[in-house]
Amino acid sequence: MTISMYTASAPVFLRMLGNLDQLLVKAEENAKARSFDPDVLVTQRLAPDMRPLSSQIQLASDSAKGAMARLSGGTPPAMPDTETTMADLRARIAKTIDYVKSVPASAIDGSEEKDIVLKTPSGDFPFKGLGFLTGFALPNFLFHVTTAYAILRHSGVPIGKLDFLGRG
């Protein structure tokens, strides 16, 4: 059995974005139980030279929607990085989930050999679709989801590995 490009991408993005949303729910509940404003967590970071929670979620969102768009030949929805509250971050996650769900499998499957050029300030990075997905898009996405988890855990939110991985 061969795994399709769609199966290797969309379900992973959807599951982990849903898990990320649930991490934020737990963070909000924990903040309320500890009598502080949950929005304080939005600016938390692991180290002074790392980006805060808000950026980690924005970058996870950008990674998921960017991968789906590049692989399908579509255009991802524009989402300015203006989130300043937990509610804003959860809304961004929901919009990203909606976009990922909107891309049909038929638009992604068969993109293994598609030429993809990632343009960055450091230069252009050429990929074939499969290499882009497995060597860049998924690792980058999971890096930012993991970092968001670590920021929340470091901030005292009682979450664990099963909260990160999800149960379904």
Instruction: Quote the pLDDT of residue 27.
Output: 98
The encoded tokens of residue 135 equal: 């060597």
In the chain, what are the domains? Answer: 5-165 (1.20.120.450)
Q: Which helix (H) or strand (E) holds 124?
A: strand 123-128
Instruction: Quote the pLDDT of residue 2.
Output: 85
| Cβ-based neighbours of 92, under 8 Å, separated by 6 or more | 57, 58, 61, 79, 83
Instruction: Quote the pLDDT of residue 94.
Output: 98
Instruction: Quote the pLDDT of residue 167.
Output: 79
Instruction: Quote the pLDDT of residue 1.
Output: 73
Instruction: Quote the pLDDT of residue 88.
Output: 98
Cα(58)–Cα(90) distance, integer angstroms: 10
Give average pLDDT by consecutive 10-residue segment, the chain, 168 residues: 94 98 98 97 97 98 98 96 98 98 98 94 96 98 98 97 89
Q: In b/e form, how buried is each residue of 38-64, taking b as 16+ CB within 10 angstroms? A: bbebbebbbeeeebbbbbbbbbbbbbb
Cα(34)–Cα(49) distance, integer angstroms: 27
Instruction: Quote the pLDDT of residue 168.
Output: 65
